[in-house]
Structure 1
Amino acid sequence: MKKCVFLDRDGVLNQDTEGYLFRTEDLIIPEGTVEALRQMKEAGYMLIVITNQAGIAKGLYKKEDVVKCHEFLQEKCGNLLDDLYFCPHHPDYTSNSLLRKPDSLMLEKAMAKYAIDPAQSWMIGDRERDVQAGHKAGVRTIRIAQEETPSKAEWLTSSLWEASSVVVA
């Protein structure tokens, strides 16, 4: 079975912005991101993006915009990402969905598709809903946040680079 690092997008792979990020010109990749991804890839981890994209349900942008941002991110990150899973739903606009974090269906689908071992895998996110989704899927979790942030994650780090060092240690 394979090992994987599941990665939230906004606030982990790119700078989080106010509102919804759906244009490539607004996508800013923080320093150290590419190196962190490369470090985890070289350690034998698959890298899969797991992201809620409620702006689709709200009619602010389309699925194609998410795919364009992912392709742009891939290009800027040296094609290190193995796949993208996104949830286009929001309970206030569409039916409730188990895909939407804090539920874990996106992770579970990826685990089934790629024969991923949860015991060897991680979820890295910047919100507690990422941590909850990771725990529901049976993977270890890292939350990127300020040191004093309350969290149920196994690790709290200040950056993806720091998180990658925890994963490969």
Structure 2
Amino acid sequence: MTGRKCIFLDRDGVLNEERGEYTYKLNDFNILNGVPDALKMLKENGYLLIVITNQAGIAKGLYSAEDVMNCHNYLQGQTGSFIDDLYYCPHHPITTQSLLRKPDSLMLEKAMAKWNIDPNASFMVGDSKRDIEAAERVGVKGILIGDKESPEKETPHEENLWGAVQNIILI
């Protein structure tokens, strides 16, 4: 049996606005344009959708795991509940070293085992090089979006999730 195809999604900067500070309050959680349509299109094309996000503010005592889940539930409610799972790393090197934290790949590895994911048929969409590094460690193709970081020459790049879906994933 072959594995399933999946789109791994970073959260801040991919699904919601990257504010430059921690996003954990619902009134600060602004879903980016095109995200609901992109998620719907990916589901219609048979992809699992799994969020993979570092949430270091938990380790720093700025917010709680409940705050992360509240934002996730809000995202689900606003985008058609298309996301199949959420993995987040509550650690930060100032308090605890963790292989969960991107650019390490343990969150992806756990999701791949749970959902029987085929890395060759899957993508990681992120707005930072650490997202792409985590994907590469498990054989998943990375797509960098936005303008926060310049892509490596060989890394596909798009302006946003909608562009990644239209121009890279579904071609």
Range of TM-score over shorter length = over 0.9
Which whole-Å CA distance do the structure 1 matches of 2:20 and 2:139 have between them? 31
Segment of structure 1 superposing worse, 18-27 or 102-111: 18-27
Which whole-Å CA distance do the structure 1 matches of 2:99 and 2:154 have between them? 21
Give 1:145 shift: 2.5
Which whole-Å CA distance do the structure 2 matches of 1:44 and 1:167 have between them? 12
Task: Provide the residue aligned with 1:161 in structure 2.
Answer: 162
Which whole-Å CA distance do the structure 1 matches of 2:54 and 2:142 have between them? 17
Q: CA RMSD in A?
A: 1.4
Give 1:148 shift: 8.5
Does the 8 Å contact 1:131/1:152 carry over to 2? Answer: no
TM-score by length of 1: 0.96
Does the 8 Å contact 1:147/1:158 carry over to 2? Answer: no
Task: Provide the residue aligned with 2:124 in structure 1.
Answer: 123
Task: Provide the residue aligned with 1:63 in structure 2.
Answer: 65
Segment of structure 1 superposing worse, 140-149 or 12-21: 140-149
Percent identity, please. 54
| 2:162 partner amino acid | W
| 1:21 partner amino acid | T
Task: Provide the residue aligned with 1:44 in structure 2.
Answer: 46
Does the 8 Å contact 2:58/2:90 carry over to 1? Answer: yes
Q: What pairs up with 1:42-121 in 2 under 5 angstroms?
A: 42-93=44-95, 95-121=96-122
Does the 8 Å contact 1:131/1:153 carry over to 2? Answer: no
Segment of structure 1 superposing worse, 144-153 or 11-20: 144-153
Match of 2:25 among 14, 18, 23: 23
| 1:157 partner amino acid | E
Query: Structure 1, unaligned stretches of length 5 or more?
Result: none
Give 1:19 shift: 1.2
Which whole-Å CA distance do the structure 2 matches of 1:48 and 1:107 have between them? 9
Distance 1:152 1:69, change over 3 A: farther
SS in 2 for 1:164: helix
Task: Provide the residue aligned with 2:141 in structure 1.
Answer: 140
Which whole-Å CA distance do the structure 1 matches of 2:148 and 2:71 have between them? 30
TM-score by length of 2: 0.94
Give 1:51 shift: 0.1
Distance 1:153 1:141, change over 3 A: farther
Residues 139-166 of structure 1, C-alpha deviations (whole Å, 9 max, x = no match): 0010002399232663100010001111
Does the 8 Å contact 1:147/1:156 carry over to 2? Answer: no
Task: Provide the residue aligned with 2:152 in structure 1.
Answer: 151
| 1:35 partner amino acid | D
Deviating 4+ runs (over 2 angstroms): 145-148, 150-154
Does the 8 Å contact 2:128/2:148 carry over to 1? Answer: no
